[in-house]
Each structure stands twice: as C-alpha cells, then as structure tokens.
Structure 1
C-alpha cells in the first residue's frame, strides 16, 4: 500500500512539469510556441493547425491523467491512513487486554499467597495449641491434656513431684507343701476381701478405693475425704 502511494505521487509530480512545458502552438517548421493566436509562429512558416490541434488534445489528455492520478493518490493516502489508524487501534486494544490479564494474574497470585499465609498461620496456631495442651505424667511420659490424661502412667505430674523409681519385682516365697497348715491359712487369707489400708494416695491401684482426677489412687479407710487433695474422685474402685 505504501509503495503504491509513493508511485502515484511520483507520476503526478512528473506529469505536472511536462504539462506546463507543452507548447500551445505548433509551427509548420516543427518548432513550438507557447503563444497562441495571430503571429504565434511568425518567422517559422506559420501555424500548423493540424499539429496544434493534436498537441492540444494531448495536453488535455495529460491534464486529465494528472488529475486522475492525483485523485487516486489522495484515495490511496486516505486508505493508508485508515489502515494505519485501524492497526494502531488494534495494537492498543491488544496491549490493554494484555495489561488487564497481567493485572488479574497478579491479583490472583496475591490472593493465593495471602490465603497460603493465613492457612500456615492457622496450622501453626493449632500445632502450638496442641503442644501447649500436652501434660507430663508421673512416670515421665507425656500425654494429651484431655479427660483421662496419663491414665496408666501414674497420673499427671504436679509441680514439685518427683518421678517415682520403679518398684523392684517382689521375691517369690519358698514353695509350701500341699496340705500344710501354712498353705491352708494362706488360701483362706487370700480369699478374704482386702480391707482399706488408709495409707493415703499413691500410684498403686492395688487395694485402692478410688482413682483420683490427677491419676493417683486413694487408699483411704472410707469414701469420705478420698482424693480430697488430688482434684476429687474420678471413679470408685470398690
């Protein structure tokens, strides 16, 4: 399009000086004169009417072609300007859409990053809460701080409490012959119900009357006052 426009303009510019230099009158000796009318070819054998008419027709055609070329050049220039404006508008629209997409992508990435940060903070708080809810048991192990914590581990360790050393395994007594009076008395004693020892609270469930809420076991003589210093009774053993 641009090359066509340049060629049209070049033809117009070339045709203009040619039209301006064309003679108005052709003399009989072949020369031309820019003058017309009487005396135009004085000294050149007079006016050649036929050649002058032919030159006039050629000049008219040249002017017509020049005007047509100028009109085509103007039309081409208009089309080129229109195409350039359309291309510029399209490029601007594409750039605007690309910028809009980039802005939306950046906003989405920001939202996702904020969501990930929020979730990480929530998980960290949950983990910290779980760690804080852990309690130390009397035997040195750790347990979650919900109901029944440290059950089977000597109860929850209180401030200043020392982890008790493991009890040595009891030594087995010597074998007693079957039918001996000692064996008969031992069997009768073992079948009798074990009475409360009233030795307070400790980690030994044997012979206890209640399990305290802190995991200790009460050996009180009766239920009144059992586990009074250990957050109360969790359950009665007998």
Structure 2
C-alpha cells in the first residue's frame, strides 16, 4: 500500500508527463502566416473538401495543431490547414517562385473544365483550359497563353497564365 507522500509524488509525476505533451500543443496556438497559397479544408485531410483558398502571407488564428494539421480560423471561417505551410513570421514581400514550369501548359479540349479550385468566396471554379473551337461556355476571359478562364472576379484572373489578354 502506498503512503500519502508516495501518492502525491506519483500524482506530480503524472501531471508533469501530461504537461510535457500539452505544452507543445498550447505553444502552437496563436497567430500564424501562410507561406504559400493554401487551402482551408473542412477536415484534417487532403481529401477533405476545400472551404476557400488563403493567399500567401495571410494572417490566420491557430486554435491547435496536431501532427500535420492545424485547426485555424481565417476571415470568420474555421477549418484545417497543413501545418508545414504556416509560419510564426510573415513571409517577405519577395515575389513568389515561378511554379508554372511544374504545371502542364494548355489542356486538351477533351478535359476542358475537368479540374478546378475553390475561390476566395468559397465557390468552385473550373481551372483555365484550352478550347480550339472558341470560348467554352461560362468563360470570363482569355489568358495570354491562349487558355480560357472561368474566374468570377477580376483580381488574380489568369495569374498563372500570363495575365488577361481579353475579357469576354
């Protein structure tokens, strides 16, 4: 049988162990900044529905982090963001790297409109695509690289396609 002093010592040891795990999680809460364009997701998974896209340098409130995901709030919306793209310091104002070389150029007409993204208003928008037969239904602009955009706002339209050549 344990004496009261042994029970107290054991309680302190358990409490210290619990706090050693809780402290890193608590220290991860607070303000963070996105280091790249980042999707806010409904669940902590890349398979989860994206709620909206946060721009590089966006300020987010982090509630807690676990493993690879953080529960965050951005512009009144709560969801999950990949932990590795959140930083304690705001990214510099330098230009973002050119990622277009890693993306396929124009799409074929057969898959026009098959991909897409969730815009800043939380709406799904088809990705820009090629259409040799003219503007596809719903296109809002022709990009300088010859693709058509379905953007629902002027800001950022054709941003990775050389900018807008012509508004439709």
TM-score bucket of the superposed structures, by smaller chain = under 0.3
Normalised by the size of structure 1, how large is the TM-score?
Answer: 0.21
Q: Which has the higher helix share?
A: 1
Normalised by the size of structure 2, how large is the TM-score?
Answer: 0.27
Larger Rg: 1
